[in-house]
Amino acid sequence: MGYFEYFSGDDIQKIHEATLRVLEKTGIDFKYEPARALMAKAGCRVDGQRVFIPGKLVEEQVAKAPSHFTLHARDPEKNVTIGKDHIAFMPCYGAPFVNCMDKGRRPGTLEDFNNFAKLAYAIPHMDITGGMMTEPNDIPVALRNAERLYSAMTLSDKPFMGAGTNREDARQTIEMASRVFGGREELAKKPPFVSILCSLTPLAYDDKMLGAIMEYAEAGMPQLISSLSIAGATAPVTMEGTLVVQNAEVLAGITLTQLVREGTPVVFAGSSSATAMRYGTLSIGAPEMAINTAATAQMARFYNLPCRGGGALTDAKRVDSQAAYESMMSMMASILGGINFVLHAGGILEGYITASYEKFIIDSEICGMCKRIKRGEQITSEKLAEEVINQVGPGGEYLTNMHTFQHFKQELYTPLLEEKDNFDAWTKKGSLSMEQRANAKYKEILNAYEAPGMDGGVKKDLDAYMKRIRN
């Protein structure tokens, strides 16, 4: 399918040129000495923590990153291509709270995290198991990364997300994945996970993110190099100015990855949005978020890189009409704009703060619909159906035609939460709202869950590692 383009080609070129001027004249703070040393060795001017990056160096290094790559699942049938014309959905990320109709809003637990991992595994529209889908507040911080990774690799056989916290957690992620996927060298050849590393907007990276970027790059592990600039707060209030800040941060991070290890897979990751000026807070349900998503995809195509953006994003506090229209707006911007990697594709409420069980199911429905739209059409004589049209003729019907029976399963999307009965039939079934049906659906999926198999020797080794960590 073709892509919606918010800016013209000339506009994108101007944003690129402005970005290079900012990186060279204004510079960016790198709060990690090894990163500054590497940038200085490559020809950057360094003044304290400030790094001034020549435009030529940026263009040379960004060009070394691959245009696409594959995440390799334990089940090869679930491998995921990141880039080209592909799109991959993964669930919520980083929410400290969870919400459901039965228990309300509360701090997330390890059980909640495991439940979301099971749902992401069981629902076909989710391509990647997830990262920190909710914070497991009931276990010590020091254990959270290892427990999350253990769950992601044992409860699902899809690709997953690594730690996006610091260098030590990055090392642990690589070590644990090496035990399951055949060692460090095999990881570099067939990476099973991708991690998100974020700038400290405006125009900075802290020591934790830079350390993790370098650790992953040394191992050849894919990374989302991400910026969340906030128009009117951490970036200029104009969409163009916000794009320049976002672009500068992302390109600086990508430049570092390629200086560490040429060819490291990266995703050009933009998640910038606007300030709700009346409150001075981030708004992810704003139309400016959708604008940035489309523009991020354009910038990534300009650099021939895979891109991340969008999601089922909302500022709503509950699963309501606001959650529905904001989420679908954001997801459609991802689909029509050409985003490859959709983080927060399921479950997010309250501007990243809360993960909702019911919304996870409803958002999965949105993902399925969007994948159907994304699939596009292929014109063939069979699909044009001229013979069938001539056969049925004026005033006929196609419901019982053999052509319909042959093609409807492939042509028409089948909803997870199908409710197409008439009013009387719907009333007899209890007049259930979408939220009530989503509540029942997630419980049905969890009750039917069966863990995918894992090699006995690999599981034993991983369990032994976890025993040492827990003790």
pLDDT in tens, 395-434: 999 999 999 999 999 999 888 887 777 899 889 989 999 9
d(CA 417, CA 434): 8
In this prediction, residue 235 carries a pLDDT of 96
Phi, psi of 265 (to 5 degrees): -65, 135
Residue ranges covered by each domain of the chain: 68-375, 381-411
d(CA 367, CA 359): 12
In this structure, the number of other CB atoms found within 10 A of the CB of residue 25 comes to 9
Give the pair of three-digit tokens for residue 276.
């709700």
Please name the residue that has the structure tokens 């529209």: 125
pLDDT exceeds cutoff 90 at 439: yes
pLDDT in tens, 257-306: 999 999 999 999 999 999 999 999 999 999 999 999 999 999 999 999 99
Fold of 68-375: TIM Barrel (3.20.20)
349 DSSP β-pair partners: 354
Please name the residue that has the structure tokens 């049925």: 392
Question: Which amino acid is it at 122?
Answer: A
Q: Does the CA dihedral 323-326-329-330 come out positive or negative?
A: negative
In this prediction, residue 417 carries a pLDDT of 85
In this prediction, residue 421 carries a pLDDT of 79
d(CA 163, CA 391): 59
3-state helix/strand/coil string of the chain: CCCCCCCCHHHHHHHHHHHHHHHHHHCEEECCHHHHHHHHHCCCEEECCEEECCHHHHHHHHCCCCCEEEECCCCHHHCEEEECCCCEECCCCCECEEEECCCEEEECCHHHHHHHHHHHHHCCCCCCCCCCCECCCCCCHHHHHHHHHHHHHHCCCCCEECCCCCHHHHHHHHHHHHHHHCCHHHHHHCCCEEEEEECCCCCEECHHHHHHHHHHHHCCCCEEEEECCEECCCECCCHHHHHHHHHHHHHHHHHHHHHHCCCCCEEEEECCEEEECCCCEEECCCHHHHHHHHHHHHHHHHHCCCEECCCCCCCCCCCCHHHHHHHHHHHHHHHHHCCCEECCCCCEECCCCEEEHHHHHHHHHHHHHHHHHHHCCCCCHHHHCHHHHHHHCCCCCCCCCHHHHHHHHHHCCCCCCCCCCCHHHHHHCCCCCHHHHHHHHHHHHHHHCCCCCCCHHHHHHHHHHHHHHHC
Contact indicator for 401, 385 with CB cutoff of 8 Å: no
In this prediction, residue 51 carries a pLDDT of 98
pLDDT confidence tier of residue 12, bands split at 50, 70 and 90: very high
pLDDT in tens, 146-204: 999 999 999 999 999 999 999 999 999 999 999 999 999 999 999 999 999 999 999 99
pLDDT confidence tier of residue 463, bands split at 50, 70 and 90: very high
Give the pair of three-digit tokens for residue 289.
């978020």
Contact indicator for 225, 27 with CB cutoff of 8 Å: no
pLDDT in tens, 25-69: 999 999 999 999 999 999 999 999 999 999 999 999 999 999 999
In this prediction, residue 418 carries a pLDDT of 72
* Dihedral over alpha carbons 60, 339, 181, 64 (to 10 degrees): -10
Contact indicator for 305, 65 with CB cutoff of 8 Å: yes
In this prediction, residue 130 carries a pLDDT of 83
d(CA 272, CA 282): 9
pLDDT exceeds cutoff 80 at 84: yes
Cis peptide before 96 (omega within 30 of 0): no
Task: Output the CA–CA distances (angstroms, integers) from residue 276 to 244, 322, 330, in the order listed.
Answer: 20, 15, 17
In this prediction, residue 149 carries a pLDDT of 97
In this prediction, residue 442 carries a pLDDT of 97
Mean pLDDT of 208-221: 98
Phi, psi of 302 (to 5 degrees): -60, -35
In this prediction, residue 376 carries a pLDDT of 86
pLDDT in tens, 99-145: 999 999 999 999 999 999 999 999 999 999 989 999 999 999 999 99
Contact indicator for 107, 363 with CB cutoff of 8 Å: no
In this prediction, residue 420 carries a pLDDT of 75
pLDDT exceeds cutoff 90 at 98: yes
Give the pair of three-digit tokens for residue 154.
């044992």
d(CA 197, CA 226): 6
Q: pTM of the full predicted structure?
A: 0.95
